[in-house]
């Protein structure tokens, strides 16, 4: 896992650096702020440089408003707005300076992440009228539908504004962060092992991906080498998590196209995958296994897991063939919610969403971690960018995940499963995974006592929720639920 040493930049140098990165086919990944000292704040930027294995990190000490990079890298818009809400840093010439995390009416006594914020004082929201976009033109024909934040079934809280005429959606505006849990703040002051418990609960369906990225960030700070058996078992766990996520995804997508038999079969296969997880680890969501330095306890999958996966794969293969030959299902997916390649790149799409729009990118192969460096990682790519392509990516990844797990079972050596991992005071590290929904980063910083001072999470749903509205504008109300389901979004992963 390669990370370059942080490069110090002045605020006036940021735009030039961002432009050079863009012109050299690199990519910005995320930005965040933290307090190295109680009275000193620092910005950090993480980028991928073209044809280099290392992630580049820029550090910047703001003394006033910081130049916004959103006009160069549109995906940075949300990161800058988040930093403004939580740390109070202003970004000059930001194209969308509205609040993101803090809703209108929330008036904290000082920025919530400031060391001066009193721990026993909650943010008291005041009722205010919500600002909505102005409609110009034939306003009598345009209708406004505010949907949520409480929605039917067990859906997460979010409010969505639809401006529409008949069935045609003119404009769509999601409003998230109704249940922002302050997960990043909860890490502060914890010992490294305590951070694993929090990471596993950031997103219920991404426990392994979050815990693994976090553990690898701690390991990078501690410069510890994880034993080979533990590295390969980490791959096995990560791919089992991918399996049940993608199987459930296919069942839920069938729910939105009203293919009820397909919904039942997909969710039954996901349930069987979770039962395999429980038999292997004691947890359907694969929790309480990972720890900085390796695994908390050993696993014994060789004698039975291969046969169970073979049986699951046979049933899945029949299911997949039926999905791809059911016209009523395909008709609702093909050409629905098209995400153009340029929009996917500019707005920061990740995971199956970006691969469905023609991008051949996957951290497991491009920036190997755990045991992926010694495994053949297949990266499926489609170009149409519609709901069908996004489903096909996940279907192909199910086949590939089962193949990877079977390969791990063949290669799995005997040996230790953990090594001592103690991050020095004032150290820092960056860890990453390719979660079922896309790229996931954890940046960790330790204080003078060797406890966590700052943990930043870049989750894939934070990226893909930003991208999603671009596929809704100009679509129709009847396809909205299908389009949203095809993105595989989670609000918990976005709101954190």
Within its chain, how far is the Cα of 321 from the centroid?
A: 29
* Distance in angstroms (rounded) separating the CA atoms of residues 345 and 477: 26
Q: Pairing state of beta strands 40-48 and 55-60? A: antiparallel
**pLDDT digit string, tens, across residues 298-339:** 999 999 999 999 999 999 999 999 999 999 999 999 999 999
Mean pLDDT (whole number) for 474-496: 92
* Distance in angstroms (rounded) separating the CA atoms of residues 248 and 261: 14
- Identify the weakest region by mean pLDDT among 119-123, 158-162, 236-240: 119-123
Contacting residues for 300 by C-beta, under 8 A, at least 6 apart: none
Axis crossing angle, helix 207-222 with helix 228-256, rounded to the nearest 10? 150
**pLDDT digit string, tens, across residues 442-462:** 999 999 999 999 999 999 999
Do 1-131 and 183-495 come out as alike in CATH topology? no
Characterize 322-334 residue by residue with b for buried, 16 or more Cβ atoms within 10 angstroms of its Cβ, and e for exposed: ebeeeeebbebbe
Compare 119 and 420 and report the one with higher pLDDT: 420
Residue for token pair 């009722």? 127
439 confidence band (pLDDT: 50, 70, 90): very high
183-495 CATH: 1.10.645.10
pLDDT cut 90: percent of the chain above it: 82
Give pLDDT, residue 52: 73
Q: Which two tokens stand for residue 230?
A: 């533990």
359 confidence band (pLDDT: 50, 70, 90): very high
**pTM of this prediction exceeds 0.85:** yes
* Distance in angstroms (rounded) separating the CA atoms of residues 363 and 31: 18
Query: Is the per-residue pLDDT at 2 higher than 70?
Result: no
Q: What are phi and psi of 137, to 5 degrees?
A: 120, -140
194 confidence band (pLDDT: 50, 70, 90): very high
Class (C level, CATH) for 1-131? alpha beta
* Distance in angstroms (rounded) separating the CA atoms of residues 152 and 192: 39
Residue for token pair 């050079």? 20
For the residues of 249-288, what is the DSSP string, one character each?
HHHHHHHHTT-HHHHHHHHHHHHHHHHHHHHHHS-TT--S
**pLDDT digit string, tens, across residues 4-19:** 688 999 999 999 999 9
In the chain, where the domains are located: 1-131, 183-495
* Distance in angstroms (rounded) separating the CA atoms of residues 221 and 424: 7
Mean pLDDT (whole number) for 60-73: 95
What mean pLDDT, rounded, does the chain reach? 94
* Distance in angstroms (rounded) separating the CA atoms of residues 360 and 197: 33
Give pLDDT, residue 138: 63
Give pLDDT, residue 58: 96
């Amino acid at each position: 896992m390669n990370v370059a040493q942080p490069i110090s930049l002045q605020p006036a140098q940021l735009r030039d650096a961002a432009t050079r990165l863009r012109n050299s086919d690199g990519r910005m990944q995320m930005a965040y702020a933290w307090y190295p000292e109680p009275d000193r704040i620092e910005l950090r930027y993480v980028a991928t440089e073209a044809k280099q294995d290392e992630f580049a990190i820029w550090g910047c000490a703001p003394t006033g408003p910081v130049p916004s990079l959103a006009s160069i890298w549109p995906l940075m818009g949300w990161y800058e707005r988040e930093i403004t809400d939580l740390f109070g840093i202003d970004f000059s010439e930001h194209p969308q300076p509205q609040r993101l995390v803090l809703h209108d009416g929330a008036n904290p006594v000082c920025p919530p992440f400031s060391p001066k914020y009193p721990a026993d004082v909650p943010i008291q929201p005041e009722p205010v009228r919500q600002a909505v976009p102005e409609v110009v033109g034939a306003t009598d024909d345009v209708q406004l539908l505010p949907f949520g934040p409480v929605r039917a079934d067990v859906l997460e809280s979010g409010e969505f504004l639809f401006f529409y005429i008949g069935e045609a959606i003119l404009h769509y505006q999601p409003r998230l962060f109704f249940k922002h849990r302050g997960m990043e703040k909860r890490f502060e002051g914890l010992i490294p092992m305590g951070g694993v418990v929090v990471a596993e609960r950031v997103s219920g369906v991404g426990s392994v991906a979050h815990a693994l990225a976090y553990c690898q960030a701690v390991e990078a700070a501690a410069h510890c080498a994880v034993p080979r058996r533990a590295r390969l078992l980490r791959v096995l766990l990560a791919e089992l998590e991918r399996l049940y996520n993608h199987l459930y995804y296919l069942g839920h997508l069938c729910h939105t196209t009203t293919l009820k038999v397909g919904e039942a079969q997909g969710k039954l296969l996901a349930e069987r995958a979770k039962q395999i997880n429980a038999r292997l680890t004691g947890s359907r969501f694969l929790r309480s296994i990972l720890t900085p330095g390796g695994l908390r306890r050993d696993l014994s999958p060789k004698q039975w897991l291969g046969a169970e996966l073979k049986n699951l794969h046979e049933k899945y293969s029949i299911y997949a063939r039926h999905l791809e030959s059911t016209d009523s299902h395909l008709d609702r997916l093909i050409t629905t919610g098209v995400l153009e390649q340029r929009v996917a790149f500019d707005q920061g799409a990740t995971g199956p969403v970006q691969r469905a729009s023609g991008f051949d990118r996957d951290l497991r192969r491009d920036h190997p971690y755990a045991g992926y460096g010694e495994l053949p990682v297949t990266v499926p790519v489609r170009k149409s960018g519609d709901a069908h392509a996004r489903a096909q990516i996940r279907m192909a990844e199910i086949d590939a995940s089962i193949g990877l797990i079977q390969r791990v079972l063949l290669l799995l050596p005997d040996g230790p499963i953990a090594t001592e991992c103690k991050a020095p005071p004032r150290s820092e590290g960056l860890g990453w995974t390719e979660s079922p929904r896309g790229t996931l980063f954890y940046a960790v910083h330790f204080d003078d006592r060797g406890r966590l001072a700052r943990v930043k999470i870049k989750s894939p749903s934070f990226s893909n929720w930003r991208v999603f509205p671009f596929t809704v504008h100009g679509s129709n109300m009847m396809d909205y639920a299908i389009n949203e389901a095809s993105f595989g979004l989670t609000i918990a992963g976005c709101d954190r």
